Amino acid sequence: MFYKKKGLPDDAELVICTVKKVLPHSVFVSIDEYENLEGMMHISEVSPGRIRNIRDFVIEGKKLVCKVLKVNPEKNHVDLSLRRVTLIQKNKKNEVYKQEEKAEKILESLAKNLKKDVKEIYEKVGNQLMAKYGSLTEAFYSIVKDKANLDSLNIPQEYKTELKKIANEKITIPEVKISGVLILKSENGNGIEKIKDILIESKKNAEKKGYFLNLKYLSAPSYRLEVVSSDFKNAERALKEIIDEISSDSIKENVFFEFKR
């Protein structure tokens, strides 16, 4: 990656590393996301269980996702672990890293189109975007969603115009869909109307909060409820809020409620 973070990572942070040197009882790596930073991993943190040959697990040049165990700011020293990273964490970190590499290509395209040096583009655009949004990926997602307030940043107008154009051409917002079956029923004479009102209200509330909610009638008394978001965490949060609201409204209206994933 062109951009490197300064300073030191936080304890428990996941970092991308490249193996530089393998010794019988330890591994030395460069921490790729940070500027001029190396880390060390003891053999006991390479893999659970007894290790006969450390090179069965790591070799020079191999990319690893490691967890930061301890940081010593005085010595600029970072202790790492490979065995404490789950497969899910590893895959997610690698995906985030790849997305950020793709996002960097947009800044390279911006530099090419404006006939500027990539370093200058980072100084005038990239660093500001990362300071405000945390990463280039999130910044470009926000631009494509038309939620990025670039006017608040000290970026030349010609850069902003070209940046929006390139981002909209190259960025596709990922979609995560989670769904389940919603069961609503009532024995009251106006039960159908109450159920309809509950569903309409849930749709309105979801839209107010910026959630994308699909409701589809299956067969009495079942409905397919689906939430769409750009990432799993937001989708889960939105689903919980929507279900909690429907549950609360159902209790008030004496409507039977159940949700199955």
Q: Mean of the pLDDT values across residues 177-189? A: 91
Within 8 A by CB and 6+ apart from 244, the residues are none
Model-wide pTM > 0.95: no
Distance CA 109, CA 104 (A): 9
| Residue 1: per-residue pLDDT | 63
Give the pLDDT of residue 99: 87
State the average pLDDT over residues 6-35: 94
- Can you read off the two tokens belonging to residue 200? 């309409």
Interatomic CA distance for residues 163 and 110, integer angstroms: 6
Q: Given pLDDT bands bounded at 50, 70 and 90, which one contains residue 10?
A: very high
Q: Residues 163, 187: contact at Cβ < 8 Å? A: no
- Mean of the pLDDT values across residues 80-91? 95
**Gyration radius from the chain CA atoms:** 25
The pLDDT of residue 147: 67
The residue that leads in pLDDT, 254 or 146, is 254
Percent of the chain topping pLDDT 90: 61
Average pLDDT for the chain = 91
CB 152 within 8 A of CB 160: no
Q: Cα dihedral angle (173, 174, 178, 179), rounded to 10 degrees?
A: 60
| Domains of the chain: residue spans and CATH | 14-85 (2.40.50.140), 88-170 (1.10.150.190), 176-260 (3.30.70.1130)
For 153, which DSSP code? S
Query: In the chain, what percentage of residues exceed pLDDT 70?
Result: 98
* Tens digits of residue pLDDT in 187-216: 888 889 999 999 999 999 888 887 889 999
Listed ranges 17-26, 175-184, 216-225; the one with the highest mean pLDDT: 17-26
